[in-house]
Chains A and B, each alone.
Chain A
Amino acid sequence: MSDAATTVQDAEQTAICVVGLGYVGLPLALAFAEEGVSVTGFDVAEAKVDALAAGRDPTGHVSDDGVSRTDAEFTADPARIRGADYVIIAVPTPVEGKVPDLSYVEAAGRTVGENLSPGTTVVLESTVYPGATEEVLVPALEAASGLDWGDGFHVGYAPERAAPGETGRGVRDVTRVVSGDTDAVRDELAALYGRVVDAGTYPAPSIATAEAAKVIENVQRDVNIALVNELAVVCDHLDLRTEDVLDAAGSKWNFHDEYRPGLVGGHCIPVDPLYLVHRSEGAGFSPKLVLQAREVNEYMPKHTAEVTLRGLNDAGKVLRDSEVLVLGLAYKANVGDVRTSEVHGVVRGLREYDVDVTGYDPHVPREMAREAFDLTVADELDLAGFDAVVLATGHDEFSDISPTDLVNTLADDPVVVDVPGLFDGDEMTDAGVRYVEL
């Protein structure tokens, strides 16, 4: 390890390979290259690699400019993994049904293993359940490389904390938890990541601890969003405005007011709790609270649809003759990703009552949206004639919509269901909109 430690101190001589060039790997590769580290970015998707090599960013997570200016090299040739001092794996870890799907980690482990130089340290950044680096990645590396863990190579775990679509939460901005199979490896990784993370690194005592830390930080988010979702239902019962209660409660130090009711989509928050559940249930223990939080959040799309249907009913509309415009199809504000969007459930809930649903999302290509949701997708924001608008995802573009716009262009007695609470409820009500906040 002393050789490797020396190379870390001398960035120009350190070579890293980033495996997986998505919203985690690509910004990381660029950040390391910016610091003078020799970076090879590897991805199995040849079209993506070709675009990157040509100076274009097909992912939308950095920019064409960033990609064309970087010294990082991009390749789909696994042989280029060989020779790196550090191989950093950042591949998706989805769930299949409710079960963690670590097939990408295993596949990456095999590919890296087949091209592993002795002495390399392999770092996993993907979210996994506690124990998975040693139980899943290490065997894949050993089998493919013929090297022994510990003698032939080392592993570390340094979980990504990327927040797509949010500024100030990039790779440099958020403290990086690092861990290694030995203290020396952990210290090296702290030094390595310290080059690109301005917020600093946090050494965890073991890989399993770091794995657990990553999972539970999203578990706490899921639980707290579930809590405000549940409290929103309580406020509905009591005829209170959720926003007012949460704002006032947030004036006390121990009440975090950053959580707001809403649909919980994405690759992390709805998924990570299932990783913990999987690991715990394997050990014969069922985390009741974590599961209950999931259930509450999974109910929210249906609840949104029900609130909309109720609004239409109250307005005296016949459901099967009603037309509803769903604004925002992506899983969160200001991103274009629809794969893990909970808006599916809203659309499904509305269609159960034969409501005619149209979607619109300025961040999602129309074809992609049409295919993903099997939906009529508008190519521009046109409110004309709709009986109800469901604001499902609070893209910035929608904040300009005024109550007057809505009253003048929607059908008579319009219903507006505001999931993220983007609009001013009083203004909406004053203008004559049947306004429902979640």
Chain B
Amino acid sequence: MSVTRTAFYGSDADDDALAAAFRGGDVPVGVYGLGKMGLPLAAVYADVTGNVLGADVDETVADAVNDGRSPVRGEPGLDELVADLAADESLRASVDPTAVAERSQVHVVIVPTLVDDDRPDTSIVESVARDIGRGLAPGDVVFFESTLPPGTCLDTLVPILENESGLSTGEFGVAVCPERTLSGRALSDIRDGHPKIVGGVDAESTRIAELVYGELVAQDVVPVSDATTAEAVKVFEGVYRDVNIALANELATHASDLGIDVLDAIDAANTQPYCDIHTPGAGVGGHCIPYYPHFLMDRVGDSPLVRTARTVNDSMPGYTASLAHSGLLSAGLSPDAADVLVLGLTYRPGVQEIRATPALGVVESLADAGATVTATDPLVTDATPFEDAGATVVPLSDLDDSYDAVVLVTYQEAFDALDVPSLAPDGRPLVVVDGRQALTELRDRDGVLYTGVGFDE
């Protein structure tokens, strides 16, 4: 710690000088959390500054990064970038966050915020804030990229930073700069995606955040009034998605009552320029959309529309399973003695993530109804939750022709090669439940009883 640092937050230097110092690597950067969002962000910081030390609790992650291997899969360009950055030591990793904090002047937090029993769980980000606080020096800035319940930064994180560091706001800067990236395209989203929202706890924090991200990303950097506004922006985006998907889902469950393919009505309605009804499906998963409504409701008590939307989306896996149930009945098969195959277990195509995946609810509902459930997904690395729910998880190559029903929850590319009708024994009808409008070509196929979310039976 004998290195003399150029003051950053509260510096008298002009913007150009600060930007040059940042780009030139004179401002050491610490990135906390090297997960699927954190590692790409750390890599972009390292690419620009050449001076990033990342922190992760997982030793295998830190070791991999130091060896130039990206532990994150499915992010185009990341493997090469991590290899290059590790080679010239632009990017290194450590399992000791306090050590990272002590040598860094810009602290970037990108760890998960979760929901436990419908309550936001910000314990990880709080713990990181404690670590940073212990190494925090005057002139440092802390950027929170994690999604936070609005008010968390000011009410919880800033006091932690102050307590641990013995400093007061005004001596260091804090800004909320929520990530707006999608897994599978993290690098391009970080570098040139949606405008970057930054909101500081004071004007100087906002200024530094604008300056840093101005150097880092090609898209506009949009300063907002304060940290809480920035937190709310991110949460509102997720809530907007959840409510609009819920609307599409609620309409989709009407298809048979109305005697129409609701998907057709949605297409027709969306020819109105202001109309943007989303696509219905078997459910909403992942670590974002299902969680953010709780970030909101927890802060303000009830939020009835947001709560109702959550209920609707939560009901979709059960609804999808019920389509299999009624399909089996109309095929003359007994649902409690049926062999049902669930296709696609990750929360969306092309990713490994299974957090909050609707496939789990589908498996549970089918197994509860007594069906023998087989599940397959070439991308899933952890089959335990599905096995615990009663499914036998098999590789794609092990599928045979023993199934009475196929329920498609998440369409993976590998399913292109699958001949779905042949999954039933010869001469027996196959019930197909299409949760993603992905098997519509089977609708009028002989030997297939097709139903799907949003389709009239």
Contacts and interface: CB of A to CB of B under 8 A. Distances in A.
Contact of A208 (B225, B240, B258): B258
Interface string B124-156: 000000000000000000000000001100000
Interface residues of A, number: 60
B77 to A, nearest CB: 22
Nearest to A230: B305
B220 to A, nearest CB: 8
Contact of B254 (A174, A246, A285): A285
B241 interface: yes
Contacts of A227: 239-240, 243, 305-306
Given A227-B239, A230-B303, A249-B236, A213 B258 contact: no
A245 B247 contact: no
Contacts, number: 183
Contacts of A296: 304-305
A212 B258 contact: yes
B110 to A, nearest CB: 18
A220 B257 CA distance: 19
Interface string B253-283: 1100111111011101111111111000000
B250 A220 contact: no
Interface string A225-241: 01100110111011111
Interface string B224-248: 1100111011001101110110110
Contacts of A283: 254, 257-258
Contacts of A206: 260, 264
B264 A205 contact: yes
B443 interface: no
Given A248-B197, A249-B236, A216 B305 contact: no
B356 to A, nearest CB: 19
Contacts of B275: 217, 220-221
B243 A223 contact: yes
B37 to A, nearest CB: 16
Contact of A280 (B230, B254, B277): B254
Interface in B271-314: 271-277, 296, 299-301, 303-306, 308-309, 311-312
Contacts of B299: 234, 237-238
B115 interface: no
Contact of B268 (A209, A221, A239, A288): A209
B271 A175 contact: yes
B224 to A, nearest CB: 5
A202 B250 contact: no
A283 B254 CA distance: 9
A212 B222 contact: no
Contact of A234 (B261, B276, B300, B311): B300
A240 B268 contact: no
Contacts of A290: 247, 250
B9 to A, nearest CB: 23
A340 interface: no
Interface in B158-216: 180, 194-195, 197
Nearest to B194: A252
Interface in B34-77: none
Contact of A209 (B151, B197, B265, B300): B265
A213 B230 CA distance: 36
A289 B305 contact: yes
B422 to A, nearest CB: 30
A280 B195 CA distance: 41
A280 B257 contact: yes
B247 A208 contact: no
B300 A255 contact: no
A234 to B, nearest CB: 5
Nearest to A208: B260
A177 interface: yes
Interface in A181-219: 202, 204-206, 208-210, 212-214, 216-217, 219
Residues of B in contact with A, size category: 35 or more
Contacts of A205: 261, 264
Contacts of B83: none
A230 B306 contact: yes
B444 to A, nearest CB: 14
B324 to A, nearest CB: 19
B260 A249 contact: no
A255 B240 CA distance: 7
A244 B240 contact: no
A220 B305 contact: no
Nearest to B246: A289
A252 B269 contact: no
A217 B265 CA distance: 9
Nearest to A220: B277
Residue from the set A204, A209, A285 with the largest chain B CB neighbour count within 10 Å? A209
Contact of B262 (A175, A212, A234): A212
A212 B237 contact: no
Contacts of A174: 272-273
Contact of B309 (A202, A235, A289): A289
B251 interface: yes
A161 B306 CA distance: 28
A295 interface: yes
A289 B260 contact: no
Interface in A109-136: 130-131
Given A213-B265, A251-B222, A255-B237, A238 B260 contact: no
Given A220-B276, A288-B311, A289-B246, A130 B224 contact: no
A154 B274 CA distance: 31
Nearest to A214: B269
Q: Which of A255, A289, A290 has the most CB of B within 10 A?
A: A289
A26 interface: no
A130 B258 contact: yes
A297 to B, nearest CB: 10
Interface of A: 130-131, 161, 174-175, 177, 202, 204-206, 208-210, 212-214, 216-217, 219-221, 223-224, 226-227, 230-231, 233-235, 237-241, 244-246, 248-249, 251-256, 258, 279-280, 283-285, 287-290, 292-293, 295-296
Nearest 9 A/B pairs, CB to CB: A283-B257, A213-B268, A212-B265, A217-B269, A175-B271, A251-B195, A213-B269, A292-B308, A217-B275
Interface of B: 150-151, 180, 194-195, 197, 220, 222, 224-225, 228-230, 232-233, 236-237, 239-241, 243-244, 246-247, 250-251, 253-254, 257-262, 264-266, 268-277, 296, 299-301, 303-306, 308-309, 311-312
8 contacts: A223-B244, A234-B303, A245-B232, A249-B233, A251-B197, A285-B253, A285-B257, A289-B243
Given A174-B272, A209-B260, 11 more contacts: A205-B261, A205-B264, A223-B247, A234-B150, A237-B300, A238-B151, A238-B299, A244-B229, A245-B232, A289-B308, A292-B308
